[in-house]
Amino acid sequence: MSWQDSIDTTNMRSMVSGFPQLLRSSRPNDYILQEAVRLHERGIDGILLLGMGGSAIAGEICRAYLHDKTAKPILSVRDYTIPQFINDTWVTVAVSYSGNTEETLSAFKEAQSRGSSTIAFTTGATLKEYAGDSPVHILWPGFQPRAALPMVLSGLLPVLEILLDLDTTDLDTVSVDIEHVSSLWAGMQTTPADLAKMAKDAIPLFIGWRHLIPVAYRARCQMNENAKKMAFSSELPEANHNEIEGTASCVKTQFLPVFLRSNEEDKRIQTRIEATIETFIENGCSPVNLDLELPSRIHESLGYTHFLDSMSVELAEILGVDPMHVERITELKKKLEIKT
């Protein structure tokens, strides 16, 4: 069955449940693949990723996943302008689901003016127009941008792997595995619905290490956008040098720290995470040690994302809010259009 038969794009829960299917929904076409091969053969100095909000996450997850597999820099910019050193030896990959996000468009234009080759991922609109004859990966329309993450990643990761001359990750297998694992969530000690109940009256704080840093950030964004809930994310070991002091305020403000655990943790990191959990407990918090026990780095990145996306729709339901509409984001975009 194709995702079109089973996913209702008017319903966030349905799109979130369809995460594994969407991971195999949008492979790059031959033109994009050939262009990626050509650029790799010509030689590149680095990859610049552009995108905002829900459209930035696929790139962030890929960047963290690939961080030690390539000697080339992968840079992510979520802003209007790009660094001076971007030139014609860099490839710029821009993602904007709507194709109309002004920061992404501005940075994209700047990259083009520096001679950078470009590849765009979008449903159309201005980004497609700006891209001209350079490759454009057209995304299925009708989704909320943040729900399109697996679809974007399904096209983006293979392109990055070709540009960087890396082995291809078998996303079809990962997708089937994640589908299977999610069917077992109901029997787990902590389900997405349990986490959502715990987060109802607390401020969730997702804490990740290495490739799970963007996953923690994604979880925070999903609580914000889907559940209209203030939430935060942080990264270890950095949080041990600042945020840990903030645990003194746990007695006054109820936080829900959620530690995303990885099979890749070495002894040093494990000891650090456990000591941090202890500090939270000593300061009156009840942290959740979330260990999904997934078989590989990419399974962890995507499996945790799927799990926490599901938490966000459960939380939206508990809080009685509509996970589909992001009226404040839309209003702000309108206000800025009027001003410029």
* Active-site hit among 35, 225, 235, 314: 225
User: Which residues in 71-84 are b (16+ Cβ under 10 Å) and which e?
Assistant: ebebbbbbeeebee
| Short-list 53, 33, 27, CA closest to 138 | 27
User: φ, ψ for residue 201 (rounded to 5)?
Assistant: -110, 20
Rounded to the nearest 5 degrees, what angle is found at the Cα of 173, between the Cα atoms of 120 and 225?
A: 50
Task: Specify the residue for token string 């939380």.
Answer: 315
Report, in Å, the least distance between residue 100 CB and ligand PA5: 6
Tell me whether residue 101 or residue 154 sits nearer to ligand PA5 (CB atom): 101
Check if the beta carbon of residue 111 is closer than 8 Å to that of residue 50: yes
Q: Does 121 bind ligand PA5 (CB under 6 A)?
A: no
Q: Does 96 bind ligand PA5 (CB under 6 A)?
A: yes
> 332: part of which helix (H) or strand (E)?
helix 327-339
With CB under 6 A as the contact rule, the residue among 9, 21, 26, 55 that binds ligand PA5 is 55
For 129, the token pair is 């127009």
Helical spans, DSSP H, in 164-266: 171-182, 192-199, 213-227, 243-246
With CB under 6 A as the contact rule, the residue among 90, 97, 108, 209 that binds ligand PA5 is 97
Q: Does 59 bind ligand PA5 (CB under 6 A)?
A: no
| Short-list 55, 75, 49, 229, CA closest to 148 | 55
What is the rounded distance in angstroms from the CA atom of residue 95 to the CA atom of residue 149?
A: 10
Kindly indicate which of the ranges 16-24, 42-50, 91-99, 229-237 contains the residues binding ligand PA5, using the contact rule CB under 6 A: 91-99
Binding pattern for the stretch 312-331 against ligand PA5, x by CB under 6 A and - elsewhere: --------------x--x--
Taking CB under 6 A as the criterion, which residues in 139-158 touch ligand PA5? Answer: 144-146
Task: Establish whether 333 is a catalytic residue.
Answer: yes
Q: Does 104 bind ligand PA5 (CB under 6 A)?
A: yes
Check if the beta carbon of residue 260 is closer than 8 Å to that of residue 206: yes
Check if the beta carbon of residue 121 is closer than 8 Å to that of residue 137: yes
Report, in Å, the least distance between residue 222 CB and ligand PA5: 9
Report, in Å, the least distance between residue 193 CB and ligand PA5: 23
With CB under 6 A as the contact rule, the residue among 20, 54, 59, 208 that binds ligand PA5 is 54
Q: Does 225 bind ligand PA5 (CB under 6 A)?
A: yes
Q: Does 233 bind ligand PA5 (CB under 6 A)?
A: no
* Active-site hit among 241, 252, 267, 339: 241
**Cβ-based burial of 313 (10 A; exposed 0-12, middle 13-18, buried ≥19):** buried
What is the rounded distance in angstroms from the CA atom of residue 296 to the CA atom of residue 274?
A: 22
Q: How many residues bind ligand PA5 (CB under 6 A)?
A: 15
Tell me whether residue 26 or residue 104 sits nearer to ligand PA5 (CB atom): 104
Report, in Å, the least distance between residue 310 CB and ligand PA5: 16
Q: Are strands 74-77 and 46-50 parallel, antiparallel or unpaired?
A: parallel
Check if the beta carbon of residue 19 is closer than 8 Å to that of residue 150: yes
User: φ, ψ for residue 52 (rounded to 5)?
Assistant: -125, 155
Task: Establish whether 228 is a catalytic residue.
Answer: no
Tell me whether residue 48 or residue 326 sits nearer to ligand PA5 (CB atom): 326
Tell me whether residue 299 or residue 306 sits nearer to ligand PA5 (CB atom): 306
* Active-site hit among 40, 72, 197, 333: 333
Report, in Å, the least distance between residue 59 CB and ligand PA5: 12
Report, in Å, the least distance between residue 144 CB and ligand PA5: 5
Q: Which residues are catalytic?
A: 225, 241, 333
Interface ranges with ligand PA5 (CB under 6 A)? 52-55, 96-98, 101, 104, 144-146, 225, 326, 329
